[in-house]
Structure 1
């Protein structure tokens, strides 16, 4: 069973009104019920919480252990979901491996947090499968009405976006951000409409943050970071507009724009030696799309002469290696480097290292920020560095903000460092001045 992307999962096929496997309500019944709950909350000045629950790597579980075990995991999860409900709450199966909980008349976000933590404790009990004992790995997204949305459809979208945000951050769950939470539904639709034409209005920008060699502390590249400066709303955080772009199907357009723009900018940088290197983040929903090599090839054909392109993809994008590896191998055949971003927070699997189509592992900032206070983080980073080097991969660490952390990472064998200590993201207009101040600058990695 092939792994569906987050975007594909959001177009769930309908589950029967009474799901036979789990005994829960189905998607159609759930949507009707959610609509009534939101209306009731609005009329009675009450709060409703929606929790969307997704099993991580479910297709991989089916492929390795068989569909019978997959069904057992679904039924087990359904029982645990029901265990956290009060009499006035509801649970539903709304997709193949996606569930939802509706908590009526909640007091506050802390009330929902208690229920979420209870669910995690219940799921600590594994499912027995012959000699194997498997846990149900889940990620949750939470949205509250009226705090995050006052319309049932948008409340569901906010919960889904929170789930995707949790996956990007390597967290087990996340609440929808409060940014823009006071907007009504018409304002939210307006935000989506504005984003759809932001490129044409010249509101999308790229900022660049340097990546330096750990051995020389000289720049070896820069990461392109997307920014949106709305003409009517001002600066809008990527944590807000990236989930919106993914939800409305606009993320591919933004990514193609970022590829072409970053390569065009890098091709104009003047460096004393080597060639400029620029890194571009590729969203998980696009990292394993069959047309990714063509998108990259088109951008390289226009702007790639003399530029080293690096694609940063999240670790979760490699979950289905059978799909991901051939696509990334085609990209690398063009001379493009692949960096596995946020390494250590997602779906680490030692078995894929033998054939992994990558050049760099990028350790997540959560390990870096705790490096000086928690010895376990040093052990983790040392292990990752040793493993990566054995397989011919370099290791980058992001979130470096002080010299003590930089020195420790260098001692542990990291190859590339990135963070405010070396430079904050700057617009392209300021990049050349920054480059000129460096001696030497942007030495390309072999």
Structure 2
């Protein structure tokens, strides 16, 4: 508690709490100018405020908000003063109650900072980044300059967390953040957008001539910054005894050419980054109108796909598989087809990745398994023992409910499990939990085939442990037979390896007599492809199989 003398603007009285708080004795307080309790830069504004307070007619009281005060030793602290005009020792005085709120203010500032800063890397977080991006665009629009938004994703970062733990992953992200910060100027922004994604706002206005980019031409600052990013990540990052060679997929979008607002710019830089990733990772992609058009088409297909699923527009076609020993069709592969009223026939290579992104792969995949089982059972009376193969995507396996989906489909169709074969890609073997899922399927007597073999990253030990029944030689190698010696060498190696490990080998995409003769000569077990039959509706497939197995049909 303090009492100010209004006329002399000095301290008239102070209690013991005030002495402890400010560090003055009672004698030192007596007659001390009240401005001495404020930092030098706050003294003039304080006196103006004090004059307004004491000039009011009649009694006045109230709080003045949080203010900065200063102790005798020069340390500063935050207080929340409450004033009340009064008479003291026959003179007009101001009674002041001072509450020390330094810790409270510190906590408030810390919370405010935490709301804007990523706790792991100390970079601006997504919220603060969005604010800075909007401000940069506003400034650029006003000054007729440009802004480049760089969206970066760390390739294969999940592998680091999965193999070495999140502690190592966090330290790697911290070093990445530090290196990125060294690549920009003081007016630019580097932020952690989330997970292993980082973003940079690069001002194309020449304001950063003292930056590490070296004062390049303003229209090319983004190129200089990106080149610097490439250079700093060319050197490995060492954590403990492990060196990491960081690879990044980078997308770039610019204001005003690629978008007139922050949301559009972010969406297009993100789109460009995903294109860089789909092009093989560790690359750079700038946004182009063609990318935007493709994104619009994908969005339209995603919406139409939901309608197609509800309206039953998907259908299955079946491609026969011919046993080269018996020269009979012993199985078929169920292939999903979609003819959309708006887009026409849509390739599975186009719509299946979209279904994996929008989550429709689960209901579509379940429909495929169920319909294939129904069809397989319908054929059993006249085509006994015919095997039905269906494809499972890595996303379906990752859901973890695929065993229940297949059990339900088999039960509803009353199909014997050994007549169903599921095909999984070689890459799906790497997914966590895939071994347990496939073992569960094998325990049900469902057969397993490794699809597109030779194009993925599986190891021989994994192949041996999964104990699949069949390997499917990828059609890219089959097409090279008679054209590229390297493809023929790989095809022979896969056939030899598969047989040595106890697998039956199926060749996909067989189209010519030359390919067929090569595969037969090197012991391929089963073939499928246009040399025998295209995928066809169930009725046509039934007719073809009957005629082929009866020997009345000789493919041209």
TM-score (ref. length: structure 2): 0.58
**Superposition deviation, residue 227 in structure 1:** 1.6
1:317-356 equivalences under 5 Å are 317-321=428-432, 323-356=433-466
Q: Contact between 1:208 and 1:426, CA under 8 Å: does it hold in 2?
A: yes
Q: 1:188 to 1:96 in 2, by over 3 A?
A: closer
2: distance between equivalents of 1:85 and 1:192?
38
Determine the structure 2 residue equivalent to 1:96.
195
1: distance between equivalents of 2:202 and 2:312?
42
Determine the structure 2 residue equivalent to 1:55.
155
1:355-379 Cα distance to aligned partner (Å, 9 max, x none): 2152222233333333444433334
Determine the structure 2 residue equivalent to 1:315.
426
Q: Contact between 1:165 and 1:174, CA under 8 Å: does it hold in 2?
A: no
2: distance between equivalents of 1:248 and 1:211?
32
2:403 to 293, 318, 326: 293
2: distance between equivalents of 1:102 and 1:217?
64
Q: Contact between 2:495 and 2:524, CA under 8 Å: does it hold in 1?
A: yes
Structure 2 residue 471 is matched with structure 1 residue 361? yes
SS in structure 2 of the partner of residue 199 of structure 1: helix
2: distance between equivalents of 1:49 and 1:144?
5
1:150-187 Cα distance to aligned partner (Å, 9 max, x none): 94576477568757866xxx8888989999964895x7
Q: Tell me how many residue pairs correspond in the alignment.
A: 413
1: distance between equivalents of 2:283 and 2:381?
43
Q: Contact between 1:382 and 1:413, CA under 8 Å: does it hold in 2?
A: no
Q: Contact between 1:310 and 1:339, CA under 8 Å: does it hold in 2?
A: yes
Determine the structure 1 residue equivalent to 2:77.
none
1:24-43 equivalences under 5 Å are 26-28=125-127
Structure 2 residue 366 is matched with structure 1 residue 256? yes
1:234-245 equivalences under 5 Å are 234-245=344-355
1: distance between equivalents of 2:234 and 2:183?
14
Q: 1:60 to 1:431 in 2, by over 3 A?
A: same
Q: 1:87 to 1:291 in 2, by over 3 A?
A: same
2: distance between equivalents of 1:439 and 1:30?
67
Q: Contact between 1:256 and 1:295, CA under 8 Å: does it hold in 2?
A: yes
Q: Contact between 1:147 and 1:182, CA under 8 Å: does it hold in 2?
A: no
2: distance between equivalents of 1:47 and 1:398?
50
**Larger RCO, structures 1/2 (Cα 8 Å, 6+ apart):** 1
Q: Contact between 2:324 and 2:520, CA under 8 Å: does it hold in 1?
A: yes
Q: 1:183 to 1:66 in 2, by over 3 A?
A: closer
1:28-68 Cα distance to aligned partner (Å, 9 max, x none): 56667888999999xx9x99897764533x44444444556
**Superposition deviation, residue 336 in structure 1:** 1.3
TM-score (ref. length: structure 1): 0.70
